Amino acid sequence: MNERNLSLALMLLNSLLQRAAQVSNRLQAGDLDDAALDDLVAQDEEAREEQLLALEKARAEGR
């Protein structure tokens, strides 16, 4: 348990809640149709691309 651990916990919580709020807003608006679900998949693919880019950069920097 240290500050790094806390930073990651807060980072994770922030991201989880932001994403959940996005879904919740769509539910409240009655807007969660197939197109919205496809949009969530597209966002996940974008996040995956960013993971791969960050990994490539980290490897290049020897991290």
Partner 1 sequence: MLQKIALMDAAVIRGLLVAVVGLLGLVLSFFGVDENLFSDKAERVVDALMLVLTAGGLFWAGWARVSLPTPPVSDKAVAKTVALMHKQGGFLSSAMLGILLIVGALGVAVTLTGCAELGLQQPKTFEERWAYAQSQTTAIRETSTRALNAGLIDSADMEYTIGVADRSSELLRLARTAASAGDTKTAEGRLQLVTTILAELEGYLQKRSAQR
C-beta of residue 26 within 8 angstroms of C-beta of residue 32: yes
**Nearest distance from residue 56's CB to partner 1, in Å?**
9
Token couple for 16: 């989880």
**Nearest distance from residue 42's CB to partner 1, in Å?**
10
17 three-state secondary structure? helix
The total number of residues written for the chain in this structure: 63
Give Cα 34 to chain centroid, integer Å. Answer: 20
Show contacts with partner 1 in window 2-61 (CB under 8 A).
2-13, 15-28, 32, 36-37, 40-41, 43-44, 47-48, 50-52, 54-55, 57-59
Task: List residues near partner 1 by CB under 8 A.
Answer: 1-13, 15-28, 32, 36-37, 40-41, 43-44, 47-48, 50-52, 54-55, 57-59, 63
